[in-house]
Chain A
Amino acid sequence: MENLDQFRLATRAWLEEHCPPSQRQPMTPDQQYWGGRGVDFPSDDARLWFERMRDRGWIVPEWPREFGGGGNSTREGKIIKEEMKRINARNPIVSIGIWMLGPALLEYGSQAQKQQHIRAIINGDIRWCQGYSEPGSGSDLASVQMKAEDMGDHYLVNGSKIWTTSADKADWIFCLVRTDPKVKKQLGISFLLIDMDTPGIRVTPISLISGDSEFCQTFFDNVKVPKNNLVGELNSGWSIAKALLVHERKLMAEMGSDTPRAVVAPNVAAREYLEFADGKIADPWLRAELTDYDMNMHAIGLTHFRTFEEHQAGVQSAAPLVMKYVGTEAEKVKSELLLAIMGTQGLGWEGEGFSDEELDTLRLWAMSKAMTIAGGTSEIQLNVIAKNVLGLPQS
């Protein structure tokens, strides 16, 4: 414990000295650095901050030193995150490679794949996107149709992927591909890494109910992929995908409650948009809806603390399994509530007559509908709880 306390103090001192003041402000989307081939930093300070963190191994403290990580323990990694949060330090890079692919490569990848990709992820040289869903696959992720045929010295890939976030900006994509069409669908899937510069790949962006989006559809037409880009064993991609999904749901549950957002909290908006009488919101329905939301978020916040304490104590419970469901459903409630509180001022699509905050609120309201669909719909989450927590019989 004493060592960890010392580590915390040293971390605090280092961050205090090396994190530029401009990198301690909340980030707007255009101030985020995502990395990638030939991509410039949004500012000189962002570059300086990234390079300092990279040189210290703190882009991903828990990853091995030989690939550019910090070689820190989980507890040290947590201390670094806490100390960054304490001074509101920005993440020096926002990266699907760090969140999603890296952990899978470290567990399932070959030594050569780790050498090639992990440091490139940490250094921000390569930006990754994810190719899981396909048009028509919906919640049935294992129904992968995009095929990769063994052509001796390479795989020939044909098909398409949808909801490939930022595929138009990504350098590489990690995909689930069908490598055996004859067996049970989960057993014939492989996990393949593909360079987006390979001939035969075409990307088109998707417009959503919230307007322009980062989502794309990505088409693969006779794309030749080297055989050493296969991660893990042939036809064992489903277990890698499942491990990544658990990870993704955890991230989404955290985003559902933790991430600072551009929009205000409903109880703050209430002060601006609602009439008060005797210190209470005059509209009884809105007051009750707001109270219900705040109480639910209070309970969700306590449950986040509980899962953390349980993790520390090595105690298992069902709490982590319900968080994606409750977190994203609460996010939708929040958006509906903000719209109701703002009334007609919450309906602006763009242009004059509305504040930026009001316009953002409407767009995020539309976006919030995706939160209970992406990363496993709420219905899929309930299926998982019914099966894994309650042990209910499967049909």
Chain B
Amino acid sequence: MALVVNEEQILLQDTARDFLATRAPVQALRELRDTRDALGYSVDLWQSMAELGWASIILPEAYGGLNFGFTGLGLVLEETGRTLTASPLFSTAVVGASLILLGGSNAQKEALLPDLAAGKLTLALALEESHHHKPTNISTRAVAQGKDYLISGRKTFVLDGHSADKLCVVARTGGESDDSPQGISLFLVDRTATGITVQRTLLADNRNSANIEFNNVLVTSDDIIGEFDSAWPILEAVLDRARIAISAEMMGCALEAFERTTEYLKERVQFDVHIGSFQALQHRAAHMQSEIELCRSVLLQALSTVDDAPEQLPLIASLAKAKMNELVKLVTNEAVQMHGGMGVTDELDIGFFLKRARVSMQIYGDTGYHMDRYASLCGY
């Protein structure tokens, strides 16, 4: 029954919805924006989220985790998508936790996961080097110096890169060219280490990302995550989990924008009738509902595939991300249009959904990237 959520999961989602509605509504993001908050999220909020167990939903109990499965994490992310909540949840509890869980040694797991579960350790993946997602195209280098390594290079679009305690750097240690899945290694390094320069970037969605420069940053072999020179399989698996998780957040973003819009269609009166009675708008809304239903099935299947059939992840992850990219683009554009003049004002929250949608569409692969990958996996 992978395509129907169970009672426990519904309870978790309901709890998340109630919590976020009071503690982190869209207004909270608006305040972070208007006050130009230096951190970009509320530490108190993140502590409360960790106390609810959200930082550790997918972690085994041995490391202080809930061991609740990826679908549970997806449902919580969907709710954070509805409220556009800024927090380390995605970078730390999805990407960081998965990196250490799938690639870390036992010593690394014991050292890092309990702190991560308690909300005391935040992580960020320093991967992208250009304005498009190309995960095998890595020219940041880690050069051996005795037993240690020196990392040099530039990273961009590092989510939570300005605030995370540790960065996981994707670096080239071999391979025939700079665009190759061979010769890729992962290193964990403190954000404040010597040689690291962090430039926080302000994006359309007012969430958190950074450009980061590494200039002969010293790391040791203890800092390597996964196999030296052969970290690609781990990285790809982590990215597929991340793509599915961000798809869940995007579903929440799309649903909230859509529901606010259909409510508006029922309230707004023009020419003495509710505009929702116009067939031109009804058909566009009904079409969106159809797309939502298809995406819902894909998302549920993708979430359960993480736990039940990880070998099938690449195809379903690319399907989910590509479909959700197009859904969230369609729905947020229509949401603005159907709200008319109010839709383009900053006073209305709809614009926040539009902007978050555009940023999330670029996270770990746009539609073109995932259509190409899906086609290649299908053999054409």
Contact = CB atoms under 8 A, between A and B. Distances in A.
Contact of A276 (B273, B297, B380): B380
Contacts of B285: 386, 390, 392
Interface string B269-285: 00001101111011101
Nearest to A315: B4
Contacts of A303: 293-294, 296-297
B286 A382 contact: yes
Given A382-B283, A383-B282, A389-B286, A306 B297 contact: yes
Contact of A313 (B1, B297, B376): B1
A5 B159 CA distance: 51
A351 interface: no
Contacts of B380: 267, 270-271, 276, 279-281, 287, 290
Contact of A318 (B265, B283, B293): B293
Contacts of B219: none
B280 to A, nearest CB: 11
Contact of B3 (A306, A392, A393): A306
Interface string B313-347: 00000010011000000000000000000000000
A133 B371 CA distance: 42
A319 interface: yes
Q: State which size class the interface on B falls in.
A: 35 or more
Given A392-B265, A395-B278, A318 B289 contact: yes
B260 to A, nearest CB: 13
B374 A313 contact: no
A307 to B, nearest CB: 9
A295 B289 contact: no
18 contacts: A270-B380, A279-B379, A281-B375, A292-B371, A294-B378, A298-B298, A299-B323, A302-B301, A305-B301, A306-B4, A313-B1, A319-B297, A322-B293, A326-B293, A382-B283, A386-B285, A392-B262, A393-B276
Given A298-B319, A319-B297, A395-B277, A287 B3 contact: no
A3 interface: no
Contact of B375 (A291, A298, A310): A291
Given A322-B294, A393-B277, 8 more contacts: A267-B380, A271-B380, A288-B371, A299-B295, A305-B297, A306-B3, A325-B286, A326-B294
A201 B44 CA distance: 80
Nearest to B292: A318
B130 interface: no
B323 A295 contact: yes
A290 B375 contact: yes
B287 interface: yes
B296 A385 contact: no
Contacts of A386: 282-283, 285-286
Given A302-B298, A302-B301, A385-B289, A313 B4 contact: yes
A309 interface: yes
A390 to B, nearest CB: 5
A306 B300 contact: yes
Given A302-B301, A383-B279, A295 B319 contact: yes
A111 to B, nearest CB: 39
B298 A299 contact: yes
Q: Most A CB atoms within 10 A — which of B276, B282, B323?
A: B282
A292 B319 CA distance: 10
B378 A267 contact: yes
B290 interface: yes
Contacts of B375: 280-281, 287, 290-291, 294
A325 B293 CA distance: 12
A298 B296 CA distance: 12
- The 4 A-B residue pairs with the shortest CB-CB distance, nearest first, are A386-B282, A385-B286, A306-B3, A382-B286
Q: Most B CB atoms within 10 A — which of A276, A306, A309?
A: A306
Given A306-B300, A319-B297, A322-B289, A280 B376 contact: yes
A300 interface: yes
A319 B296 contact: yes
A326 B2 CA distance: 22
B120 interface: no
B376 to A, nearest CB: 7
B266 interface: yes
Interface in B365-380: 371-372, 374-376, 378-380
B298 A390 contact: no
B376 A279 contact: yes
Interface in A340-395: 379, 381-383, 385-386, 389-395
Contacts of A310: 3-4
A226 B322 CA distance: 60
A293 to B, nearest CB: 11
Contact of A325 (B281, B290, B296, B372): B290
Contacts of A382: 282-283, 286-287
Q: Most B CB atoms within 10 A — which of A306, A312, A386?
A: A386
B322 to A, nearest CB: 6
A323 to B, nearest CB: 8
Contacts of B290: 322, 325-326, 385
Contact of A389 (B3, B276, B289): B289
